[in-house]
Amino acid sequence: MPGDKSVSHRAALLGALAEGVSEVQGFLEAEDCLRTITAVQALGAEVTRKGPGHYRIAGGGLRGLSEPGDVIDCGNSGTTARLLAGVLGTQPFWTMLTGDASLRRRPMGRIAEPLRAMGATIVGRAEGTRLPLAIRGTGLARAIQYATPVASAQVKSAILLAGLVAEGPVTVTEPAPSRDHSERMLRRFGARVVTEGRMVTLTPGPLRAASVAVPGDISSAAFLLVAGAVVGEGRVTLRRVGVNPTRTGILDVLAAMGAQIQTAEAADEGEPTASLTVTAGALKATTIGGTLLIPRLIDEIPVLAVAAAAAAGVSVVRDAGELRVKESDRIAALARELARMGAVVEERPDGMVITGGRRLRGAAVNSGGDHRMAMALTVAALIADGETVIDDVACVATSFPTFAEIVNTLAGTTAITAEP
């Protein structure tokens, strides 16, 4: 599996903030993560590509960044924008951040508010809650205890990154635990980070360079796992997939739906990994909800909706209003696009109700520029009768540039063809 997107972003950022030369293997060379590389280069970090996914990052320490000569374009990447804002919120120079049309629609108030409380000046569109934003810090952050209203690793990480140069310990409390890659990697780079339930405390201090082995991305694996579970009589094995418990909600849900998934080759290099083998079989409907589960699979809901459409019975997704502020409004997009293929999807404010078991039919559908919609629709197309034409698929390169190639290899035939 290609490298984990979340872990790759963090490796680039922490490498740039550390003292010394960090070595990253398995870095995800997809558009989102390359945005973070370009951003840290614009801020003065020296990045050398040694080979595929192999990067050497020479950081100048927490105070070693310098004012960029131009606006930093985060493209489609919410993680680049929000985590970088945490870094920039303490830097004593101005940086302008922007992004593509999707990212400029997404909420930034959730990071701007705590960063302002830490002393950052953040101005921009919509009263400083939408990109483009201009950000400046003072070189020293106020130590805060912050209770975030959303379980968001991006919000938590922004505060922790700003906290590296705070005048005292910084604490973030979340309504439910979100992915903890930042905490793990900060520790690997020598930071003092303590987690107690939903509360994380970081004590300020320098970072020292480290080596990072990026695990495979379970959010990308999700498309192949669901394809393996629903298509024909297949069996798919995915090697070295990251199985951090804050990310494995999809495995719990697929198991509840009756999917056969075996885990083997468990290892741990700062992040736990395993190989996953899925065998195709009949699926049954399930309910996906609860504040503890949703953050553990939020990015996998588009493809889980496809699994639900293929399963016998009525599945419900709830407590997932966050889906409306991802790369697209994924609740509206799933209801609209899967309906074109004959699925019965009823939209709810915080989720959807999917009546499964209907045969899907090939149709003309549109990803809306959202990489996970494009890939979820591809999995739906694999089980639909006839041909599906998915429009606007360049976005797949955001997180999984080799997706079509891998699907074609697994299918043993050219299941996906590109049209200009």
Just list the catalytic residues: 299
Q: How far apart are the first and last CA of the chain?
A: 27
The least CB distance from residue 46 to ligand S3P, in Å, is 24
Q: Which amino acid is at 194?
A: V
Residue from the set 3, 6, 184, 368 that interacts with ligand S3P by CB under 6 A: 6
Q: Which of residues 148-207 bind ligand S3P (CB under 6 A)?
A: 152-154, 157, 178-179
* Binding-site size, ligand S3P (CB under 6 A): 12
Any residues with CB less than 8 A from the CB of 361 and at least 6 apart, and which?
341, 342, 384, 385, 386
Q: Which is nearer to ligand S3P, 225 or 298 (CB)?
A: 298
Residues 63-82, mask of contacts with ligand S3P (x by CB under 6 A):
----------------x---
The least CB distance from residue 150 to ligand S3P, in Å, is 7
Please tell me whether the peptide bond between 132 and the residue prior to it is cis, using omega within 30 degrees of 0.
yes
Is 220 a binder of ligand S3P (CB under 6 A)?
no
Backbone angles phi, psi at 229, to 5 degrees: -80, -30
Cα separations in angstroms, 116 against 67, 121, 124, 143, 204:
20, 6, 13, 12, 18
Q: What angle do the packed helices 153-163 and 78-88 form, to 10 degrees?
A: 20
Q: Which of residues 235-294 bind ligand S3P (CB under 6 A)?
A: none
Q: Which of residues 80-139 bind ligand S3P (CB under 6 A)?
A: none
The least CB distance from residue 326 to ligand S3P, in Å, is 6
The least CB distance from residue 36 to ligand S3P, in Å, is 10
Q: Which is nearer to ligand S3P, 6 or 244 (CB)?
A: 6
Separation between Cα atoms, residue 293 and residue 155, nearest integer Å: 18
The closest residue (CB) to ligand S3P is: 6
Answer whether 334's CB lies under 8 Å from 367's CB. no
Residue from the set 274, 298, 304, 334 that interacts with ligand S3P by CB under 6 A: 298
345: helix, coil or strand?
strand
Q: Which of 30, 31, 35 is nearest to 12 (CA)?
A: 35
Q: Which of 172, 169, 162 is nearest to 85 (CA)?
A: 162
Answer whether 346's CB lies under 8 Å from 353's CB. yes
Cα separations in angstroms, 232 against 1, 228, 384:
22, 8, 11
Is 299 a binder of ligand S3P (CB under 6 A)?
yes
Q: Which is nearer to ligand S3P, 119 or 295 (CB)?
A: 295
Stretch that binds ligand S3P, among 131-139, 147-155, 237-245, 380-388 (CB under 6 A): 147-155
The least CB distance from residue 233 to ligand S3P, in Å, is 32
Q: Which is nearer to ligand S3P, 9 or 184 (CB)?
A: 9
Residues that bind ligand S3P (CB under 6 A): 6, 9, 79, 152-154, 157, 178-179, 298-299, 322
